[in-house]
Structure 1
Amino acid sequence: MSRLGSIGARLYRGEVGYDFVGKRMIWYGISILITITAVVGLMVQGLNMGIEFKGGVVITTPKTAVSVTEAREVAEEVSGHIPIVQELGTGGLRIQISDVDTTQADKIKTALADDLKVPEDKLNAELVGPSWGEQIANKAWTGLGVFMILVVIYLAIAFEWRMALAALIALIHDLTITVGIYALVGFEVTPGTVIGLLTILGYSLYDTVVVFDGLKEGSRDITKQTRWTYSEIANRSLNSTLVRSINTTVVALLPVAGLLFIGGGVLGAGMLNDISLSLFVGLAAGAYSSIFIATPLVADLKERDPQMKALKKRVLAKRAAAAAKGESPEGPDGAEDTDGALDGAPADVTPAGAVVGQRRQPTRGRGKRR
Structure 2
Amino acid sequence: MSRLGNLGARLYRGEVGYDFVGHRKFWYGLSVLITITAIVGVVVRGLNMGIEFEGGAVFTTPKTSASVEHTTEAAEQISGHQAIVQELGSGGMRVQIAGVETDTSTEVKEKLAEELKVNSEDIDAQLVGPSWGEQIANKAWQGLGIFMVLVVIYLAIAFEWRMALAALVALIHDLTITVGVYSLVGFEVTPGTVIGLLTILGYSLYDTVVVFDGLREGSKGVTKQTKFTYSEIANRSINGTLVRSINTTVVALLPVAGLLFIGGGLLGGGMLNDIALSLFVGLAAGAYSSIFIATPLVADLKEREPQMKALRKRVLAKRAKAEEREGRDVYGDEDDGPQDAPPAGVTGQRDAEPHAASAASGQRRERPSPQRGGRGKGRPSGRRR
TM-score (norm 1): 0.85
- Alignment map for 1:274-289 (pairs within 5 Å): 274-289=274-289
Q: 1:57 to 1:216 in 2, by over 3 A?
A: same
- Alignment map for 1:330-349 (pairs within 5 Å): none
Alignment-derived partner of residue 263 in structure 2: 263
Task: Give the match's secondary structure for 1:95.
Answer: strand
Shift of 1:263: 0.5
Shift of 1:327: 6.0
**Contact 1:211–1:238, Cα closer than 8 Å, also in 2:** yes
Write the distance in 2 (CA, Å) between the matches of 1:328 and 1:106: 93
The count of residues paired between Structure 1 and Structure 2 equals 329
- Alignment map for 1:1-370 (pairs within 5 Å): 1-326=1-326
Question: Larger helix proportion, structure 1 or 2?
Answer: 2
Gaps of 5+ in 1: 330-370
Higher RCO (C-alpha 8 Å, min separation 6): 1
Write the distance in 2 (CA, Å) between the matches of 1:161 and 1:150: 13
Q: Deviations over 1:158-179 (max 9, x none)?
A: 1111111111111111111111
Write the distance in 2 (CA, Å) between the matches of 1:46 and 1:121: 35
Counterpart of 2:108, as a letter, is I
Q: Deviations over 1:99-145 (max 9, x none)?
A: 12134323322322332233444444332212333222222222211
Write the distance in 1 (CA, Å) between the matches of 2:311 and 2:321: 15
Q: 1:205 to 1:39 in 2, by over 3 A?
A: same
Write the distance in 1 (CA, Å) between the matches of 2:287 and 2:124: 44
Write the distance in 2 (CA, Å) between the matches of 1:7 and 1:126: 54
Task: Give the match's secondary structure for 1:233.
Answer: helix
Task: Give the match's secondary structure for 2:262.
Answer: helix
Counterpart of 1:173, as a letter, is H
Deviates more, 1:137-146 or 1:215-224: 137-146
Q: 1:119 to 1:149 in 2, by over 3 A?
A: closer
Task: Give the match's secondary structure for 1:81.
Answer: coil
Gaps of 5+ in 2: 330-385
**Contact 1:319–1:328, Cα closer than 8 Å, also in 2:** no
Shift of 1:204: 0.7
Deviates more, 1:75-84 or 1:288-297: 75-84
Write the distance in 2 (CA, Å) between the matches of 1:207 and 1:59: 41
Counterpart of 2:162, as a letter, is R
Task: Give the match's secondary structure for 1:325.
Answer: helix
TM-score (norm 2): 0.82
Write the distance in 2 (CA, Å) between the matches of 1:234 and 1:187: 38
- Please tell me whether Structure 1 or Structure 2 has the larger radius of gyration of its CA atoms: 2
Shift of 1:308: 0.2
